[in-house]
Amino acid sequence: MTAPETSPRGAASPGRVPASRRRTTKPRRLVRDPREAFLAVREEVAKAVVGQDAALTGLAVALLCRGHVLLEGVPGVAKTLLVRALAASLDLEMRRVQYTPDLMPGDVTGSLVYDARSTEFTFRQGPVFTNLLLADEINRTPPKTQASLLEAMEERQVTVEGVAQPLPDPFLVIATQNPVEYEGTYPLPEAQLDRFLLKLTMPLPEREDELAVLAAHSAGFDPRDLSGLRPVAGASELALGRQGAQAVSVAPEVLGYVVDLCRATRSSPALSLGVSPRGATALLATSKAWAWLSERDYVTPDDVKDLARPTLRHRVAVRPEAELDGATADGVLEGVLATVPVPR
């Protein structure tokens, strides 16, 4: 299995199409071992998405950690197709919300509706009440609507009129955004960025992958029709996988390495904001999940290195003067990884 951010560049999709609640009428192929289930999910997704192994691995890590994911890439690199294919391979409910400037918080979380028959207000659940929520182009909606996801992402509930409405388990938000268009967008604030476990980048494909995409389309592949994919894992396999990842051991030296990496970002002259303790715990969790996926019951420093960029890149802020000199979050993290001593 390929580590996040280290695989060859993935393949582009021809576009995105709306998807509402995913229907689960297809027969499910039972997989008992949770690790085999995750491998089966990868095989199913590969039927629709060429390449993008790093992004798919990152999504698997997020499922194991019960964390949320921010997918970033230019239009046409299979962001939405990847999420739809993942949902089709899981026996879970999925909903998609297209974030627009006129979207209201109640359109996401739900609202109170007056029932003329009972003369009472009843709560009508919004699309956030699902297992897998695709928040498409989340940076195109105003901050008040973006903030409507904060409680759902952190507390896994929605409070309406003082009453907490619990969300289904598992619950995962996968948000997408375009990094090249800034007109008419609302950048996510640091407080909400910190709620995402991972920020995965999806680059343009290599030539071989793009040839494979064209060959598939020439042979009749339709990205709007994913009926060929079957659910091969469900909530029970995900729960067993989470238990396995949590049982992975971490040596004190590796714990110290995680802390030293995060503390080094706070003293970096190129950063105005370093990684918080929440970021350190996130890096620990993702490293354990990656070790479990790699069929190990212990975390190595290489696991931490592999997950450092996708786990921390959205938790740091580069100084404007450093940006003028060409500094990027990934570049600064590379420098931190190169300077912090690795435990032996």
Mean pLDDT is highest, among 23-27, 48-52, 85-89, 284-288, for 284-288
* Positions of CATH 3.40.50.300 in the chain: 34-240
The secondary element (H helix, E strand) that includes residue 271 is strand 271-273
What is the spatial distance between Cα 262 and Cα 266, in angstroms, rounded to a whole number?
A: 7
pLDDT of residue 160: 85
Ranges of H-type helices in the chain: 34-46, 53-65, 79-88, 105-109, 143-146, 150-155, 190-193, 207-218, 235-246, 252-266, 277-293, 301-312, 320-324, 329-339
pLDDT of residue 7: 43
264 vs 16: which has the higher pLDDT: 264
pTM exceeding the 0.75 threshold for the entire prediction: yes
pLDDT of residue 305: 96
pLDDT of residue 178: 86
Least confident of 18-27, 210-219, 245-254: 18-27
Q: What is the per-residue pLDDT across 106-158, written as a single tens digit (0 to 9) for each?
A: 999 998 888 888 888 888 999 999 999 999 999 999 999 998 899 999 999 99
What is the spatial distance between Cα 176 and Cα 313, in angstroms, rounded to a whole number?
A: 16
pLDDT of residue 129: 95
Q: What is the per-residue pLDDT across 313-340, written as a single tens digit (0 to 9) for each?
A: 999 999 999 999 999 999 999 999 999 9
Average pLDDT over residues 294-313: 96
Instruction: Provide, rounded to the nearest whole percent, the portion of the chain with pLDDT above 90.
Output: 65
Contact 248, 298 (CB under 8 A): yes
Residue 251 has pLDDT above 60, yes or no: yes
Q: What is the per-residue pLDDT across 27-57, written as a single tens digit (0 to 9) for each?
A: 555 546 888 999 899 889 988 998 888 999 9
Per-residue pLDDT band at 20 (split at 50, 70, 90):
very low
* Positions of CATH 1.10.8.80 in the chain: 248-339
Mean pLDDT is highest, among 86-95, 148-157, 189-198, 278-287, for 278-287
DSSP codes of every residue in 235-263: HHHHHHHHHHHHT-B--HHHHHHHHHHHH
Residue showing tokens 């009129």:
161
Residue 10 has pLDDT above 70, yes or no: no
Average pLDDT over residues 187-198: 90
Average pLDDT over residues 91-119: 90
As a CATH number, domain 248-339 is 1.10.8.80
Mean pLDDT over the full length of the chain: 88
Average pLDDT over residues 293-311: 96
Decide which of 3.55.40.20, 3.30.70.2500, 3.40.50.300, 3.40.50.2300 is the CATH code for 34-240.
3.40.50.300
Contact 89, 231 (CB under 8 A): yes
pLDDT of residue 121: 87
Average pLDDT over residues 264-289: 96
